Amino acid sequence: MNRYLFILTIALGMTASSHAQQQGDPKATEVWTPVPKVVDPGNTSKAPSDAIVLFDGKNLDQWVSAKDGGKAGWTIENGVLTVKAGAGDIKTKDVFGDCQLHIEWRTPAKVESEGQGRGNSGIFFMQQYELQVLDSYNNQTYSNGQAGSLYKQHMPLVNACRPPGEWQTYDVIFTAPKFKEDGSLLSPARVTVLHNNVLIQNNVELKGKTLYIGQPFYEKHGPGSIQLQDHGNPVSYRNIWLRKL
Ligand code: MG
């Protein structure tokens, strides 16, 4: 038998034996309905067709001051939203539960201060659970408070920060906590985060609302706003969209 015929014989034999293990009707395991809804995925500058656009560079129509519900007092210039120090946090008018969030952020190109004082902002889900925004490029601080941490609860798996002044992305899957009638916790909040397309939080479980001091705990609540933090540093944002899950 020549070499090629030998290989062919072996290959046919393997196919026959693997088919022999697969008896029955393949159609029995095919699912044809329902059919997933068609979504235009967009691109780097355009949100998916089923997303709620929270900021597209034009205005702050979707946002209010977190403090008093009045006008959101941050700056928009050349399509970029920037924290105005002292204006306070801003929050979305709408409230959300489980969601997918895309947000782009940039810490100041001019490096000032250090640790938690350098390019600090943050994204709060349901106004309670902070995903840290910080210039963590060659900037030491406590690991569970660096960029990509779920503040004081989970440090990021890796530091995927770009240098100050460069745009960075977060893509987040947030699962809201669920509560029983009596107010006790049924299931905790869970978070997955990609930072610049790198997985940094893998479906981690939150211990409760973000606290600066002390151990986190849960208090029963319903859907809540996305809130962006004014930590006194001129951090910028652009291209913010959310999909309800
Ligand atoms: Mg912060």
For the stretch 141-177, pLDDT in tens is: 999 999 999 999 999 999 999 999 999 999 999 999 9
Residue ranges per structural domain of the chain: 32-244
State the CATH architecture for 32-244.
Answer: Sandwich (2.60)
Which residues place a Cβ less than 5 A from the ion ligand 1?
A: 120, 122, 229
- Give the residue, 178 or 2, on which the prediction is more confident: 178
**pLDDT exceeds 50 at position 36:** yes
**pLDDT score at 45:** 86
* E strand segments, 58-138: 63-65, 75-77, 80-82, 90-92, 99-106, 121-125, 129-133
CA 132 to ligand 1 center in whole angstroms:
5
Q: Give the other-Cβ count within 10 Å of 28's Cβ.
A: 6
Please say whether the beta carbons of 219 and 211 come within 8 A.
no
- Token pair in block for residue 22: 């697969």
CA 228 to ligand 1 center in whole angstroms:
9
CA 134 to ligand 1 center in whole angstroms:
7
**pLDDT score at 12:** 46
Identify the band that residue 8 occupies on the pLDDT scale cut at 50, 70 and 90. very low
CA 131 to ligand 1 center in whole angstroms:
8
> Please, what is the average pLDDT of the chain?
93
* E strand segments, 38-89: 52-55, 63-65, 75-77, 80-82
For the stretch 192-240, pLDDT in tens is: 999 999 999 999 999 999 999 999 999 999 999 999 999 999 999 999 9
Dihedral class, residue 36 (left if φ above 0, else alpha if ψ from -120 to 50, else beta): beta
Tell me which H or E stretch contains 236: strand 236-244
Residue 40 has, within 13 A of its CA and on its CB side, a CA count of: 6
